[in-house]
Amino acid sequence: MLSGNMPIFVLKEGTQREQGKNAQKNNIEAAKAIADAIRTTLGPKGMDKMLVDSIGDIIISNDGATILKEMDVDHPTAKMIVEVAKSQDTAVGDGTTSAVILAGELLKQAEALLEQGVHSTVITNGYRLAVNEAKKQLENSSVKATDDATLRKISMTALSGKNSSLSSDFLSSLVVKAVNAVAEERNGKTIVDTANIKVDKKNGGGVSDTQFINGLVIDKEKVHAKMPSTVKDPKIALIDSALEIKKTEIEAKVQITDPSKIQGFLTQESDTFKTMVEKIKKSGANVVLCQKGIDDIAQHYLAKEGIYAVRRVKKSDMEKLAKATGAKIVTNLDDLTADSLGKAEKVEEKKISDDRMTFITGCANPKAVSILIRGGTEHVVSEIERSLNDAIRVVAITKEDGRLLPGGGAIEAELAMKIRAFANTVGGREQLAIEAFARALEIIPRTLAENAGMDPINTLIQLKAEHEKGHSSYGIDFEQNKVGDMNKVGVVDPLQVKKHALESAVEVSTMILRIDDVIASRKSSGGESPGGMPGGMGGMGGMPY
């Protein structure tokens, strides 16, 4: 026991600390700042951001996840908001901007309640009640559709507002083709593994030169000039071992003392490669795709036999090639048989921009396909790549789940109305938080209207009036710059995207609201700190026992 009025030093002198309302206020301000930074990018008429790093490299994008990932964020709470975007992008591929904006607005509405004396626990309870009700309403409002026309609408909605929007109709058809190609039925369910869609990019040409390949594109050229540039009806061998003489595990040196033995040594080496190529030829293969190296002598014999060969193909590409062509990846050339070979209509080397690439096309039933993006500059093709990846993910989710909702802020306006009605049935102080949740939802249609140059207040009033009449699919028609029926204009979103955005936004905002103390911790060294506690706080810096 410590006696008298002797002070107890819990934290080291000079330790940074924010407590109580000040901590909450600073956390909320940081979250709002992140949300405001990307708010202008929302919707088909959203603006782009230019991100410039320390060495002058630039990224131009209006994809929320990309912007937040590249931003130099220092505040710990702001980093939590960035994690929302990453989580949304990883889970469903789209809706990152909406999730972050919604999280920022939930905290802004909570700030007003905190100032009125409502406890943060009451607010978080109210938000949880509201989000559970919102998810039920989303399920009730969703409709099922997985036809190609609907999938194209989903893709076009995901591409709208991106640099690719001018070609969204053309690109959407490529996305739907790719997703349909790799979709599989398992136990009565449709499964789409988007990792089987290979998206490559090359500068040069226009966006309209982007193409879907019913097979794979490999960013590699043939290894020998005398090999054929085109092979029709190829028999494809996938080899994941090197067509080289292996080095010994320990350092070794061959010393030849008799000059007459030199030729014999070289002949033996040459015969080894000749045997390798004969094994490949015997299997019937006329195209070899090798994961590792191919020796110069082996290249010569392969070219002599008219076999097209590519070396150092990435492992991920080898796996996709197996799915596309039906070939089996072999490690030992003795295992290479006619049954292990893959098929396609054509393998050819093409010059794309300044590079030569190998195209494996016309696969009968490929479970891995490619999209080759073209565009005028590196920044254009990079942004189209990001847009296409988002579109592929949302189309894949819709193909699997099949549940759709009207876009253009329609579902948020409908939810706001339903949540207000729900608040009246709850009562108590939680009712205030549920009403705040409903107001926060309106930030989506409001922001969409602002970014389209419309009057946000008038637009919200019109939206509310239409939804009160029972027009649940009415949102913002960006073609006409007015309130209209989203189902008629074909603006739809997957249920999973909206549901995940709501859940992520509520989870992070309730977590931030429950923080009332921010303390600078000791940097973790990965092991036990000197204070006796593992990790960061070091036993609270001299706390008495």
Residue 344 pLDDT > 90: yes
Quick one: pLDDT at residue 17?
A: 63
Q: Is residue 377 part of a domain?
A: no
Q: How far out from the chain centre does Cα 289 lie?
A: 29
Q: Mind listing the pLDDT tens digit for each residue in 36-72? A: 999 999 988 889 999 998 888 899 888 888 898 888 8
Q: Is residue 535 part of a domain?
A: no
Q: How far out from the chain centre does Cα 350 lie?
A: 29
Confidence of residue 519 (pLDDT cuts 50, 70, 90): confident
Mean per-residue pLDDT, 521-542:
46
Residue 528 pLDDT > 50: no
Quick one: pLDDT at residue 62?
A: 85
Quick one: pLDDT at residue 529?
A: 42
Quick one: pLDDT at residue 7?
A: 60
Measured CA to CA in angstroms, residue 254 lies from 265, 273, 326, 365, 541 at distances of: 10, 19, 43, 50, 64
Q: How far is it, in rounded angstroms, from Cα 139 to Cα 508?
A: 22
Which is it for the CA torsion 54, 56, 57, 62, positive or negative? positive
| 487 and 427 belong to one structural domain | yes
Q: Is 252 exposed, middle or buried (0-12, 13-18, 19+ CB in 10 A)?
A: exposed
Count CB neighbours of 357 within 10 A: 18
Quick one: pLDDT at residue 318?
A: 96
| 361 and 421 belong to one structural domain | no
Mean per-residue pLDDT, 74-93:
88
For 378, the token pair is 């590196």
Confidence of residue 187 (pLDDT cuts 50, 70, 90): confident
Residue 197 is classified by DSSP as: E
Q: How far is it, in rounded angstroms, from Cα 397 to Cα 91?
A: 10
Residue 537 pLDDT > 60: no
Quick one: pLDDT at residue 462?
A: 94
Mean per-residue pLDDT, 395-403:
91
| 410 and 357 belong to one structural domain | no
Mean per-residue pLDDT, 59-88:
88
Looking at 4-18, 125-139, 235-249, which range is the least confident one?
Answer: 4-18
The residues that are catalytic are 63, 96-97, 390
Q: How far is it, in rounded angstroms, from Cα 324 to Cα 311?
A: 18
pTM (2 d.p.): 0.82
Of 43-52, 60-69, 147-156, 433-442, which has the strongest mean pLDDT?
433-442
| 334 and 459 belong to one structural domain | no
Quick one: pLDDT at residue 476?
A: 93
Q: Mind listing the pLDDT tens digit for each residue in 232-291? A: 999 999 999 998 876 555 665 667 676 766 666 567 778 889 999 999 999 999 999 999
Residue 1 pLDDT > 50: no
Q: How far is it, in rounded angstroms, from Cα 234 to Cα 345?
A: 7
Averaged pLDDT of the chain: 87
Looking at 9-23, 349-363, 531-545, which range is the least confident one?
Answer: 531-545
Contacts of residue 308, Cβ cutoff 8 Å, sequence gap at least 6: 222, 227, 228, 231, 234, 286, 287, 288, 347, 349
Q: How far is it, in rounded angstroms, from Cα 413 to Cα 429?
A: 23
| 355 and 420 belong to one structural domain | no
Q: Is residue 425 part of a domain?
A: yes
More confident residue, 415 or 261: 415
Rg (CA), the chain: 30
- Structural domain containing residue 42: 18-144+406-518
Quick one: pLDDT at residue 479?
A: 84
Q: How far is it, in rounded angstroms, from Cα 168 to Cα 413?
A: 26
Mean per-residue pLDDT, 349-359:
91
Q: What is the CATH number of the domain that holds 332?
A: 3.50.7.10
- How many independent structural domains does the chain possess? 2
Alpha-carbon dihedral 156, 158, 159, 162, rounded to 10 degrees: 150
Residue 9 pLDDT > 70: no
| 360 and 262 belong to one structural domain | yes
Quick one: pLDDT at residue 535?
A: 41
Residue 188 pLDDT > 50: yes
| 361 and 226 belong to one structural domain | yes
- Which residues, listed in sequence order, are joined to residue 404 by a DSSP beta bridge? 143, 494
Contacts of residue 118, Cβ cutoff 8 Å, sequence gap at least 6: 429, 432, 433
Residue 498 pLDDT > 60: yes
User: Does an H or E element contain 381, and which?
Assistant: helix 378-401
Q: Is residue 29 part of a domain?
A: yes
Quick one: pLDDT at residue 16?
A: 62
Residue 402 pLDDT > 60: yes
Q: What is the CATH number of the domain that holds 46?
A: 1.10.560.10
Mean per-residue pLDDT, 412-420:
95
Mean per-residue pLDDT, 211-229:
94
| 354 and 412 belong to one structural domain | no
Quick one: pLDDT at residue 5?
A: 63
Q: Is residue 170 part of a domain?
A: no
Contacts of residue 199, Cβ cutoff 8 Å, sequence gap at least 6: 370, 371, 373, 385, 388, 389, 392
| 484 and 429 belong to one structural domain | yes
| 361 and 417 belong to one structural domain | no
Q: Is residue 174 part of a domain?
A: no
Q: How far is it, in rounded angstroms, from Cα 175 to Cα 389?
A: 9
Q: How far is it, in rounded angstroms, from Cα 545 to Cα 542?
A: 9
Q: Is residue 426 part of a domain?
A: yes
Measured CA to CA in angstroms, residue 171 lies from 42, 184, 544 at distances of: 21, 22, 66
Quick one: pLDDT at residue 500?
A: 93
Domain boundary among 298, 333, 365: 365
Mean per-residue pLDDT, 446-468:
94
| 341 and 410 belong to one structural domain | no
Residue that is written with structure tokens 């290979």 in the block: 198
Evaluate whether 430 touches 213 at the Cβ level (below 8 Å): no
| 343 and 413 belong to one structural domain | no
Confidence of residue 536 (pLDDT cuts 50, 70, 90): very low
